[in-house]
């Protein structure tokens, strides 16, 4: 009997303006059991958030219009207060410590530089969810 997929049962919202990035992240996460909705902007993410009620948010930082910092601040301010606890990952091409600090201060739990190894991404998501469930 095969072991269960590490992300089975998780609903994940991916926000990235780049089509290829959305496709890659979605493919990786779905292969490990997650249900993924991928959207191209912060505005669309805010529209689908209440209905989707994701278990995890994975968001690019550098997007036209509203960036990932603005999006996570808006999500953290939403009512009901369940959104202040939504596990959130900043996935970004900006990998240095200054951007990491900015992401954590804005409300993300972790900051992951692109490109990310598929196994590493799955492990990060699984560990983040496990830390919230314990």
- pLDDT means per 10 residues in the chain (134 residues)? 85 97 97 98 96 96 95 92 90 85 95 93 96 78
Q: Distance between CA 80 and CA 111 in Å, rounded?
A: 25
pLDDT at 34 (0 to 100): 98
Q: How many CA atoms lie within 13 Å of 77's alpha carbon, on the beta-carbon side?
A: 8
* Surface-to-core class of residue 88, CB atoms within 10 Å of its CB (0-12 exposed, 13-18 middle, 19+ buried): buried
Assess if residue 43 is contained within a domain.
yes
Q: Distance between CA 35 and CA 112 in Å, rounded?
A: 21
Assess if residue 60 is contained within a domain.
yes
90 token code pair: 């900043």
Domain of 108: which CATH number? 3.40.50.2300
Assess if residue 7 is contained within a domain.
no
pLDDT at 2 (0 to 100): 65
Give the count of domains, the chain.
Answer: 1
Q: Nearest CA to 14 among 68, 58, 63, 75?
A: 58
Which domain does 124 fall in, by range? 13-133
Residues 111, 77: contact at Cβ < 8 Å?
A: no
Alpha helices for the chain (secondary structure H): 19-31, 42-52, 68-77, 97-106, 118-133
Assess if residue 23 is contained within a domain.
yes
Assess if residue 121 is contained within a domain.
yes
Assess if residue 87 is contained within a domain.
yes
Assess if residue 2 is contained within a domain.
no
pLDDT at 1 (0 to 100): 65
Assess if residue 3 is contained within a domain.
no
pLDDT at 106 (0 to 100): 96
């Amino acid at each position: 009997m095969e072991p269960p997929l590490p992300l089975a049962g998780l609903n994940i919202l991916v926000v990235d303006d780049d089509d290829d990035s959305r496709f890659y992240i979605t493919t990786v996460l779905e292969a490990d059991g997650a249900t993924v909705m991928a959207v191209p902007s912060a505005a669309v993410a805010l529209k689908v958030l209440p209905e989707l009620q994701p278990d995890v948010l994975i968001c690019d930082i550098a997007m036209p219009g509203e960036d990932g910092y603005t999006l996570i601040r808006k999500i953290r301010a939403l009512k009901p207060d369940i959104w202040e606890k939504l596990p959130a990952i900043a996935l970004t091409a900006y990998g240095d410590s200054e951007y990491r600090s900015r992401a954590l201060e804005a409300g993300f739990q972790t900051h992951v530089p692109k490109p990310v190894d598929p196994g590493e991404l799955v492990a990060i998501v699984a560990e983040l969810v496990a830390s919230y469930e314990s």
